[in-house]
Amino acid sequence: MSAAVAEAASSALLPVYRRPAPVFVAGSGSWLEDDTGRRYLDFTSGLAVNALGHGSPVVRRAIEEALATGLIHASNLFRTRPAEAMAEWLVAHSFAGAVFFCNSGAEAAEGALKFARRWARAASGLESKIEVVALRGGFHGRTMGALSLTDRPDFRDAFAPLIPGVRFVDPREPGALEAALDPARTAAVFAEPIQAEGGVRPLGDEGLRRLRSACDAAGALLVLDEVQVGLGRTGRLWAHEAAGIVPDIMTLAKPLAGGLPMGAILLADHVAAAVRPGDHGSTFGGGPLVASVALAVSRAIAEPAFLAEVRERSVQLDRRLARIAARPKVVEVRGTGLIRGIEVRSDAASVVAGALDAGLLVCGAGPHTVRLLPPLNVRADELDLGLDLLEEAL
């Protein structure tokens, strides 16, 4: 931690994050403003959360309308319309037959793990079918179950023992996946279509199809974690769409409710059929306020014209990043749509700090990858400006 960072940090917040000095007080579109009035172009989008940018009128209107009902929360003991409408929207726009709402990406992974084991025992009649295969380089969250599926020694080691029955395989090693799956033991495979925290590493369409067929061969569920890359980030509504496959379970969270905390677990009919009343629960999940906002945000993102714009910005990024990829400091450029990783020879942290000095917010993804996550509605001129600032930082 630099002296400036340490000095600026409040000692009342548990220091699990190393935050840079600026204190943000306002936001508008792709921009954040600090308490000195300096403006920064935000290519982190609150970690892929603020998909419609800061101060989005869609989000504001949905919050205001929801507040006007006076119904922020009623608990899951009772029916409320927004949760039902949001679940129906997700079912109508995906492979899913039913949806469970929670409050974060990690919670969605926890629930998916429970539902996968519930289904596997019921479907097979085998007590042994409880194992999960997860991928090297994957990230599913920081709670104990989600962390058990996350392949990052620096995140895990201090907290062992984690839950048993998880095996890691390298998705790029030929035959490793097929060898790790066992019809008598494997309940599910967990994977991100693009490993985001792990360095922006796409599995690729062929990789996703291989996962699907390995799961089918072993009678295991394919659980796709689209917490970061789902809901438009790739230029399609779901990241798995391009591969022409569907998962059995999908987890969502980050952009779902426009900055309010919300997660969702989407279950195919056959998985949903194995879940019984009382199997799982959440006090806050799918409350009327967050569900109303989620419906407004999801509808806005799913508009064909909106997704077409995301793909246009993606083409613009392709062009600019091809030039950046040729720089001597850059090892490789990865990703698609509006999630991109630039692997550098130096520390990613030094590039992130340089970009901040230049007025651009970006984040790391592992030690050597700089990650770009602009809002999905970033303007063409803002995208160009951001890449100018990034080139300056490089």
Ligand X SMILES: *Cc1c(COP(=O)(O)O)cnc(C)c1O
Residues near ligand X (CB under 6 A) are: 104-106, 109, 139-141, 192, 196-197, 225, 227-228, 253-254
Min dist. Cβ of residue 6 to ligand X (A): 25
Cβ within 8 Å of residue 323, ≥6 positions away: none
Are the C-beta atoms of residues 309 and 328 closer than 8 Å to each other?
A: no
Min dist. Cβ of residue 184 to ligand X (A): 28
Nearer to ligand X, 335 or 354 (CB): 335
Q: Which of 300, 365, 385 is nearest to 53 (CA)?
A: 300
Min dist. Cβ of residue 221 to ligand X (A): 17
Q: Which residues pair with 372 in a beta bridge?
A: 340
Min dist. Cβ of residue 227 to ligand X (A): 4
Nearer to ligand X, 94 or 251 (CB): 251
Q: Which residues of the chain form beta strands (DSSP E)? A: 24-28, 31-34, 39-42, 98-102, 131-135, 166-169, 186-191, 194-195, 201-202, 221-225, 249-252, 263-267, 330-336, 339-344, 360-361, 363-364, 369-372
d(CA 377, CA 72): 28
d(CA 132, CA 167): 6
Q: What does the DSSP 8-state code read for residue 368?
A: T
Q: Which of 360, 315, 309, 365 is nearest to 342 (CA)?
A: 365
Annotate 335-351 with DSSP letters as a single string: EETTEEEEEESS-HHHH
Are the C-beta atoms of residues 288 and 295 closer than 8 Å to each other?
A: no
Nearer to ligand X, 135 or 387 (CB): 135
d(CA 42, CA 157): 33
Cβ within 8 Å of residue 154, ≥6 positions away: none
Nearer to ligand X, 197 or 382 (CB): 197
Min dist. Cβ of residue 328 to ligand X (A): 30
d(CA 386, CA 392): 10
Provide the b/e sequence for 350-362 (b: ≥16 CB within 10 Å).
Answer: ebbebbbebbbbb
Min dist. Cβ of residue 320 to ligand X (A): 24
Nearer to ligand X, 280 or 379 (CB): 280
d(CA 48, CA 227): 9
Min dist. Cβ of residue 232 to ligand X (A): 15
* Cβ atoms < 10 Å from Cβ of 179: 11
Min dist. Cβ of residue 58 to ligand X (A): 21
Are the C-beta atoms of residues 41 and 360 closer than 8 Å to each other?
A: yes
Supply 22's token pair. Answer: 């600026």
Min dist. Cβ of residue 379 to ligand X (A): 25
Nearer to ligand X, 256 or 344 (CB): 256
Nearer to ligand X, 324 or 362 (CB): 362
Min dist. Cβ of residue 352 to ligand X (A): 17
